[in-house]
A and B are shown apart, each in its own frame.
Chain A
């Protein structure tokens, strides 16, 4: 099954340009593993980058640059055609959690240091980018609801297992939902399966109503 909700073209282009912070790049790259359609869009955006680079006025290298690189060709550790490194034995969650995300998890997903955030909801922080954006995994128990909340900045969600529904519709495996500070929503996991998702925020969530009490936990 392929994803039905995709990152915006603007986001895919920023990924191709290399201008995203690592947490957002991780989310986009993990979506790409699940989405041939967006891989093709990124390949085209990279071709745009290649064309723009080709059209720049060349900047001369120092005298002797070529000679010094030629002299280093043999001293490199790898031979010209590198054989792929032997991959570690696949973990039990290898089909569930795609690379590159799996490489960011210190343990299989069920052994992560999940912190409870509320009834049926757990989170674990994975990565803080240099720009202050944060990647977390959330696990919403089957049939559980995340308290209604708004956002101070942008929030991006990639669903890995199960699915959730909110005011904007259904979000299933491989789907990416982008919301901004204009959106308030209450995601509810579908009743059949826990919903595990990768969430990247560039500013703390703004909880509404009684859920404000949970605010301190959401910062973890």
Chain B
């Protein structure tokens, strides 16, 4: 079942971002890359700043993330993720490497032990940009206490035990709020019933 994109303007802009990324992948389109840079680099920098990176580090890593997007554009799959989600994962992985000084264990779908996805039910799954647009809309309707722990999970780089301590609630409550938030968001995507 498909539903119309919530927030048509944001939806159109998002689809434009996917088209730009595909142009970079297809023929190394520099104009498209520049447009992606204008949109995403300041958001990646904001994300890294929000996680505690100093201004210079965040600047450098945001530039690295965009370079990495240029090099890896061929791996972008618009069926699986929006351009924004894909760039988020690049920025996240670079931050783990550079700021946490740890490796990010990489998945390898070509591995002999990999258990493949079940055949997708034809048109049931939403396109990457549609899912992201619907998620952004759904986030607005989550209860405030759930949004708070979701944001802390993504922006505070802290284990659940510390999030619990900061909010003055038991760790089980942090986990159950995250579970409820995920359930609600995935229901809105039609991923679960």
Contact = CB atoms under 8 A, between A and B. Distances in A.
Interface of A: 2, 8-10, 12-14, 17-19, 21-22, 25-26, 29-30, 32-36, 39-41, 43-62, 65-66, 68-70, 72-73, 76, 78-82, 84, 87, 90, 94-104, 129-131, 174
A54 to B, nearest CB: 5
Given A18-B96, A53-B91, A62 B81 contact: no
B153 A53 contact: no
Of the candidates A32, A100, A174, the one having the most CB atoms from chain B within 10 angstroms of its own CB is: A100
B166 interface: no
A108 B160 CA distance: 35
Nearest to A3: B115
Given A9-B179, A48-B150, A82-B74, A72 B81 contact: no
Given A43-B81, A94-B112, A82 B75 contact: yes
Contact of A99 (B107, B131, B160): B107
B113 A48 contact: no
B153 A56 contact: no
A91 to B, nearest CB: 10
Given A44-B186, A68-B63, A17 B92 contact: yes
A46 B105 CA distance: 16
Contact of A44 (B46, B151, B191): B191
A9 B178 contact: yes
Contacts of A22: 102-105
Contacts of B110: 84, 87
B116 to A, nearest CB: 7
Contacts of A48: 135, 139, 150, 154, 185
Contacts of A57: 46
A62 B178 CA distance: 36
Contacts of B136: 51, 54-55
Contacts of B24: 80
Contacts of B2: none
A18 B95 contact: yes
B92 A49 contact: yes
Interface string B75-113: 100001110111111011101100011111111101111
A98 to B, nearest CB: 4
Given A17-B154, A174-B115, A53 B43 contact: yes
Contacts of A81: 25, 73-74
A56 B47 contact: yes
SS of B interface (majority): helix
B144 interface: no
Contact of A29 (B87, B105, B115, B128): B105
A2 B115 CA distance: 8
Contacts of A94: 111-113
Contacts of B117: 36, 39-40
A54 B37 CA distance: 13
Contacts of B95: 18
B96 A59 contact: no
A24 B41 CA distance: 30
Contact of A53 (B44, B93, B105, B135): B44
Contacts of B85: 46-47, 49-51
Nearest to B155: A52
